[in-house]
Amino acid sequence: MRLYPLYIFDLDGTLFRGEEPTPNAVETVGNLRRAGSQVRFLTNNSSKSISDLTEKLNRLGFEAAHQEVMNSAEGTARRLAGKVNRVFVVGESALVEALGGVGIELVDRDPEAVVVGIDRQFTYEKMSRAMTHLRNPDCLFVASNPDRSYPLENDVLIPGAGSIVAAIEMCSARKAEVIGKPNPFLVELVLDDAKVLASDCLVVGDRLETDIEAGRAAKCDVHLVLCGVTKEPIPGLPWSPDLAVLTVV
C-alpha cells in the first residue's frame, strides 16, 4: 500500500471504542509517524474539547499534539466566527467553549443562530426553545455533525448528535447546515493546516456516510475500517478489518 504524506484518522470506532484502542491502531499510527508521514486526528464528536481529546489520545497510547487534533465543535466555531455574534446552543461544554473562544455570545433570546451538537442532557424544553427560535427565518440552523450513534466498548452503540438534530429538524420544519463530516469543511481545514494536497492524503474512518463521504468530497483517497460502526465491506471501496493493513514495515 502507498505511503501517504498525510493520514487523517477518525477517532470513535476507528482508533478507539470508549476507553479501548481498536486492534493494531496504536502500533499503526506510530509506524506511520516513524516512516515520515504526518498524522492528524479528526472527529465529529463535539462532546470533548481539543485539549480533552489530545489528553485521551496520549493516555491510550497515541502520540498526539494539540495542533494535530480537530473536532466538529472547533470547526463549527471557525465556520461561524465573524458571521454571527449571538447563538442559542443545544450542546455540551466543549461546543460552548469553542463558540465562546471565537467571541460568540450564548443567549436565550433573539439568537442569530441555533447551534446543535451532542447533548446528553437534552430535554423537551430545549427542543421547544430551539423550535421557537427557528420560527424566525433569519435565524440560522447549524449542526456540529449528523452522526446517528457513537461506538463504545463491547460493541455498544449510544445515540449521537444526529438523533438530536433530527428531532429539532422535525419540529421546526427546518434543515440544519451540517459543519462536520460528511461536509468536507473539516477535512479541508486539516489539509490547509498540514499544507498537504488532497491527492497526498488518506482519510481513514469507520462510517461510510460521514468519514468516507467527507474524504471523497475533499478529493482525498479513503479507507474504510470495520472495527467501528460499519460492519460489512462496500464493493469497490478500500477496506480492512482494522488498521493493520496500513502498517509500514
170 φ, ψ (degrees, to nearest 5): -65, -50
In terms of Cβ atoms closer than 10 Å to its own Cβ (0-12, 13-18, 19+), residue 235 is exposed
With beta carbons less than 8 A apart as the criterion, state whether 86 and 104 touch.
yes
Identify which of 245, 249, 243, 218 has the alpha carbon closest to the alpha carbon of residue 62.
243
Q: Which of 10, 119, 147, 211 is catalytic?
A: 10
In whole angstroms, give the CA distance from residue 238 to residue 135. 44
* Cis amide bond preceding 182, omega within 30: yes
12 included as an active-site residue: yes
Could you tell me which of 39, 228, 249 has the C-alpha nearest to residue 241? Answer: 228
User: What is the H or E stretch that residue 76 is in?
Assistant: helix 72-80
Query: Which sequence positions are flagged as catalytic?
Result: 10, 12
